[in-house]
Amino acid sequence: MGLRVLEACDELWLCGDRLSRGMNAELAAAERLGIPVRQIPESEITEVISMEQKYGVWAVRSAASICGAAEAWLKENGGPLRFDTMEQAAEYAEQLNAGICTANVHYYPKEAGPELAPAPRMGMKLC
40-74 pLDDT, tens digit per residue, is: 888 877 654 556 788 999 999 999 888 889 999 99
Torsion of CA 24, 29, 34, 38, to 10 degrees: -30
* pTM for this prediction: 0.52
Same domain, 9 and 28: yes
CA distance 67 to 64: 8
120 inside domain? no
Q: What's the pLDDT at 27?
A: 92
Same domain, 60 and 39: no
CA torsion through residues 66, 72, 78, 80, sign = positive
Number of separate domains in the chain:
2
Domain span including residue 10? 3-47
Tell me the CA distances in angstroms from 80 to 21, 49, 55, 88, 115, one per residue in order.
41, 21, 10, 15, 12
DSSP 33: H
